[in-house]
Structure 1
Amino acid sequence: MAFSPALVEVELLRHTFGGSSMGRLADGRAVFVPYALPGERVLVELTEEKRGFARARLVEVLQAAPQRIQPRCRHFGVCGGCHYQHLAYPLQLQVKGGVLREQLERIAGISQPPVGEIRPSPLEWNYRNTVQFHLDEQGRLGYEESGSNRVVAIQECFLPQAPLDEIWQQLDFESRLSIERVGLRVGADEEVLLTLESSLLELPSFEVDFPLSAVHLSPAGSIVLAGEDWLPMEVNGRIFRVSAGSFFQVNTAQAGAMVQFLQEVLPLDSRTTLLDVYCGVGLFSAFLADQAGRCIGIEQSPTACEDYAFNLDEMENVELYVGAAEDILPALQVSGKITAIVDPPRAGLDRHALDALVALQPRWIAYVSCDPATLARDLKRLVAAGYSLERVTPFDLFPQTYHIESISLLRRVG
């Protein structure tokens, strides 16, 4: 291949959070290359240059690493949905565990962080109970291209569960339709819910000749187009109502594994008040509330709050506070033995919420995280506030991607 001045040859050194591998440019700057592996010699095109680092697009693998395998999907490397299809699954798990440790060491300043073995997903493929598509200019379903907002129309995807994989390929949309995103979720008994998200209030024309529920989501709220606006989701034998606008873990089996883990490690009794912060539809509260004397859920999403109230209606020791954690926690009246579960979004704990949580002095905190960087930032603050990091247990909810879910268990010292 003819070399162009715009192309740079790089030796890659290590994996980094975000799915890229890092190498060094001739001037010493770090360069991050997606879809490449440590030990490889690659030809790249620089796409972003900063004073201390650069990002690049992989053009050609000049010398492949021995662990590189053939990706299963034809769209890998263009579609931004997967990052690790060129690695066998056991190696993906090793990479994620290593990245989590590195983030805790570098950002949190924790020497030899107590990170346990990652819990693998029972399914490496077709594990997602929820999938979201964008529409391209021709109305074709697709995902956003890696590193851009351009929609790549797809012909195959090996992440959705089988019922969703069958349905999405039958969906047909007009071009330039006022739909920003198309969502599919499969629940108990393979019931399927279709969501059409739009910033406009106008309802789209809708026809379907196979059984499913359908909802239009807009600034006006949720409007049912067919069936119901919620699905029954089953975790560890318990059914949850999950509305179209409510978050739910996309890997059902791993959601059950996380619940079981918390049941095993959290010390709860009749004198304990359990705080379930960012409680969602009540996944953790439903299994843990009966082990505590009092359970308090805190959630901002209106639809999730409705689902939480429905899902835990039979439990008399459960309360729900509707609002942002940073607003609710400072005003919360609770004393005695407190155990807290926090499951914040990717941005991590709001600083005011963290400070208010520390002021309540829970004896134990279980921090459920989907982002190692913000987890490390928050763990640093919690350790400085008097907590000991007892263990960090990663769970792989997202095979073939760089995303890392984990549960950190912290104990108040003194």
Structure 2
Amino acid sequence: MNEKQDNILVEVTAPVYGGECIGRLPDGRAVFVPYTLPGEQARVELVEEKRGFARARLLEVVRPAAERIAPRCAHYGVCGGCHYQHTDYATQLKIKGRVVRDQLERIGGVTNPPVAEVVPSPAAWNYRNTIQFHITSDGKIGYQGWGTHRVVPISECHLPEETLNQIWPQLELEPLPGIERIELRLGAEDEALLALESSDLAAPEFSVDFSLSAVHLSPAGKLILAGDDYLLMKINGRVFKVSAESFFQVNTAQAEAMVNHVLGVLQLDENKTVLDVYCGVGLFSAFIAPRIKRCIGVELSESACDDYAVNLDEFNNVELYIGAAEEILPGLNVQPDIALVDPPRAGMERAALDALIHLQPRTIVYVSCDPATLARDVKRLVAGGYHLEQVTPFDLFPQTYHVETIALLKK
């Protein structure tokens, strides 16, 4: 790479989804630069070049924005876990709201999308009830670096809840063959569960001198190494069983806010039938079921289905279909009044979305963790006869580019 490509001045103009900002190269191509802010002038080095755009590494901020601050973490800029520590929290919220609107306009084709202000997290730091680490070849805990699979060892992290930050530095791990990731989750009573995710069928020896449940997850299944294979999580006073393999929202306070929002926008009564697709362990179903006539869950994860059955056991008006949404929905003989969908980051499979439109619920609530796939699916739903009524972003992930969004669509 020549000297000109190694040392380029770029005027940064706007944030984009993924934690970067966009600028223009002298030849007119777009360039994406991490750790920058709109209005800044940055000196960059190109690390990837395509015909229409390039990606760059930040070398120096020549003219900083007024919103720029010093990052809290010593690993910021090397570890890939955070993307916005270089700006204040109010600016982070503005960036996320702007990104959601941009995705709905560009990908969704929505003119003036009805995006509300981002609901802030009560805590901008130490908010995560779950943390996922990778392991270096010599057994050190770390995160993958920005844009790479290289594991960066860490000595501090300001995202986990304080109790988790007391636990993970005590973990002493030998280099273990096959261990791909470890997950540490905190329950309602500060009990903790460690999951070792491995491609190796054989479980390692495990012992700690403090209270900690632990499981080994491999293609052979789940093996309990210590304690229990689940935790109890509490949302709005209601207790949920969450197994080691099951997904649960990582920001407890914001999960409560999302449940309250959904209950607030839905017109629930004892005559309604609600379809809860990608229902997980029953986070939304548990609060919807007592207010309606019939609640139908659809979930692929076997562990989440087992948890759902426990968490919704008290209700006689709940049904659960186990399988992929794209396989269950086309054969579902039901006329739901409301559909709540909470798909993974990839959004809804086309077959599932088409089947949902065919079922013709009057109201759809779409819970999304990726504004790009949300915008794609909103475009399809609008083409299927729905109108986008409102979009409310929730910041479950301060200091990162991730944002949760709840969209309300009606016929």
Does residue 185 of the first structure (1) align with residue 185 of the second (2)? yes
Could you tell me how far 1:69 is from its partner in structure 2? 0.2
- State the AA in 2 paired with 1:410: L
In the alignment, which residue of structure 1 is the partner of 2:49? Answer: 49
In the alignment, which residue of structure 1 is the partner of 2:331? Answer: 331
Judge conservation of contact 2:236–2:256 (CA < 8 Å) in 1. Answer: yes
In the alignment, which residue of structure 2 is the partner of 1:356? Answer: 355
Q: How does 1:1-400 map to 2 (within 5 A)?
A: 5-335=5-335, 337-400=336-399
- State the AA in 1 paired with 2:125: W
- The 3 A distance-change label for structure 1 pair 5 and 264 is closer
Q: How many residues align?
A: 410
Could you tell me how far 1:6 is from its partner in structure 2? 2.5
Could you tell me how far 1:272 is from its partner in structure 2? 1.3
Judge conservation of contact 2:5–2:45 (CA < 8 Å) in 1. Answer: no
Could you tell me how far 1:397 is from its partner in structure 2? 0.2
Q: Distance in 2 between matches of 1:38 and 1:328?
A: 45
Q: Distance in 1 between matches of 2:286 and 2:261?
A: 14
Q: Distance in 2 between matches of 1:267 and 1:39?
A: 44
1:288-313 Cα deviation digits (max 9, x unpaired):
01111100000000000000001001
Deviation beyond 2 Å, 4+ runs, structure 1 = 3-7, 175-178
Q: Distance in 2 between matches of 1:365 and 1:120?
A: 24
Q: Distance in 2 between matches of 1:173 and 1:107?
A: 44
Judge conservation of contact 2:250–2:396 (CA < 8 Å) in 1. Answer: yes
Could you tell me how far 1:188 is from its partner in structure 2? 0.9
Q: Distance in 2 between matches of 1:216 and 1:47?
A: 38
Could you tell me how far 1:333 is from its partner in structure 2? 1.1
Judge conservation of contact 2:215–2:223 (CA < 8 Å) in 1. Answer: yes
1:197-234 Cα deviation digits (max 9, x unpaired):
10110111111100011000001111100000000000
Q: Give the structure-2-normalised TM-score.
A: 0.98
Could you tell me how far 1:176 is from its partner in structure 2? 4.7
Aligned CA RMSD, in angstroms, stands at 1.1
Q: Distance in 2 between matches of 1:9 and 1:128?
A: 37
Judge conservation of contact 1:139–1:177 (CA < 8 Å) in 2. Answer: no
Q: Distance in 1 between matches of 2:323 and 2:253?
A: 29
Judge conservation of contact 1:242–1:304 (CA < 8 Å) in 2. Answer: yes
Could you tell me how far 1:339 is from its partner in structure 2? 0.3
Could you tell me how far 1:267 is from its partner in structure 2? 1.2
Judge conservation of contact 2:138–2:174 (CA < 8 Å) in 1. Answer: yes
Could you tell me how far 1:178 is from its partner in structure 2? 2.9
Q: Distance in 2 between matches of 1:387 and 1:146?
A: 38
1:63-113 Cα deviation digits (max 9, x unpaired):
211211000001111111000001100110011001100111111111110
Mind listing any 5+ residue stretches in structure 1 that lack a counterpart? none
Could you tell me how far 1:180 is from its partner in structure 2? 1.0
- State the AA in 1 paired with 2:98: G
Could you tell me how far 1:137 is from its partner in structure 2? 1.4
Q: Distance in 1 between matches of 2:18 and 2:178?
A: 31
Q: Distance in 2 between matches of 1:301 and 1:234?
A: 21
Q: Distance in 2 between matches of 1:146 and 1:105?
A: 28
What secondary structure sits across from 2:258 in the alignment? helix
What secondary structure sits across from 1:406 in the alignment? strand
Mind listing any 5+ residue stretches in structure 2 that lack a counterpart? none
Judge conservation of contact 1:11–1:39 (CA < 8 Å) in 2. Answer: yes
Could you tell me how far 1:117 is from its partner in structure 2? 1.2
